[in-house]
Amino acid sequence: MAGTNSERILLAEGPAIILVEPQLGENIGMVARAMANFGLAELRLVNPRDGWPSDKARSAAAKADHVIDGTVVYDRLEGAVADLNFVYATTARSRDGFKPVRSPVTAAETLRGRFRSGEKTGILFGREKSGLSNEDVALADEIVTFPVNPAFASLNIAQAVLLMSYEWMKSGMEDHHAVAFDAPEQAQASKQEVIGLFEHVEQALSVRNYFHPPHKKAKLVDNLRAVLTRRSYTSPEIHVLRGIITSLDRFSRPGQITVSSQSGDDGHDGGTAGD
């Protein structure tokens, strides 16, 4: 669900996003939402076709009101970049000229470095139909382009903003493999727990003549233990598996019924996956 939550950190810093002559309010709103998703907040519009403020933009922003409320409109791109130190132009095609061309990863790293050293930065995005003009690009320091499918290269403006905002967020993370939350108790179970599982399974199978004929038992145990160790079970998983064995074992081993149903630790409560 979209929306801000006062208990959670609202990230709102980084490069200004500058839309040059955007046409549709919906697109401006989707840009605002994409910015908010990845912690950017400063939106600048150069000469928006349908004026500003825009109800369509606010609606499409899906409660990114802090971005919409802070949006500033300029008549000309020169004014929109005047207070910035370093500016990227996004473009899908090669331009004649001397500006370095960067990937989104490189651009985000550059923007993050300049942000940390106190510079003000911005990223230019062009018109829905025609992108940035060469005159627009001339006001930028460097060009950033996206690694797209060669035969299907046109990105929607909000999606282009989303990718740069996403890379901006990632550039502030130490580890691109890190995640915001983790599954509970992912540590591998101890060998004592694994061996407990082996013995539990093997005992239940043994009374049913699973290990028959006797001279094959060593190989059958080997295979069984290989299957049971291949997945590197966690403690809660071992708990669930032992609950399964206990449950299957119940009512079919005379004299064991009472013991199983009174154990109070049959693992049945451990099956919380899918709750």
DSSP 35: H
In the complex, the smallest distance separating the C-beta of residue 169 from a copy of itself, rounded to whole angstroms, is 6
Neighbour order of strands in the sheet with 101-102 = 72-74, 43-46, 16-20, 121-125, 86-90, 142-144, 101-102
In the complex, the smallest distance separating the C-beta of residue 129 from a copy of itself, rounded to whole angstroms, is 8
SS3 content of the chain, % helix, strand, coil (to 5): 45, 10, 45
Nearer to a copy of itself, 106 or 260 (CB): 106
Q: In whole angstroms, what is the distance from residue 98 CA to residue 104 CA?
A: 19
Nearer to a copy of itself, 1 or 226 (CB): 1
Nearer to a copy of itself, 11 or 228 (CB): 11
In the complex, the smallest distance separating the C-beta of residue 220 from a copy of itself, rounded to whole angstroms, is 27
Q: In whole angstroms, what is the distance from residue 66 CA to residue 54 CA?
A: 14
In the complex, the smallest distance separating the C-beta of residue 164 from a copy of itself, rounded to whole angstroms, is 11
Nearer to a copy of itself, 29 or 122 (CB): 29
In the complex, the smallest distance separating the C-beta of residue 82 from a copy of itself, rounded to whole angstroms, is 19
Nearer to a copy of itself, 151 or 262 (CB): 151
Nearer to a copy of itself, 85 or 103 (CB): 103
In the complex, the smallest distance separating the C-beta of residue 155 from a copy of itself, rounded to whole angstroms, is 6
Residue recorded with tokens 């028959």:
212
Amino acid at 37: N
Nearer to a copy of itself, 45 or 137 (CB): 137
Would you call the peptide bond into 104 cis, given omega within 30 degrees of 0 as the criterion?
Answer: no
In the complex, the smallest distance separating the C-beta of residue 97 from a copy of itself, rounded to whole angstroms, is 4
SS3 sequence of 214-236: HHHHHHHHHHHHHHHHHCCCEHH
User: 228 and 207 in contact (C-beta within 8 Å)?
Assistant: no
Residue 265: CA atoms inside 13 Å, Cβ hemisphere, count?
Answer: 3
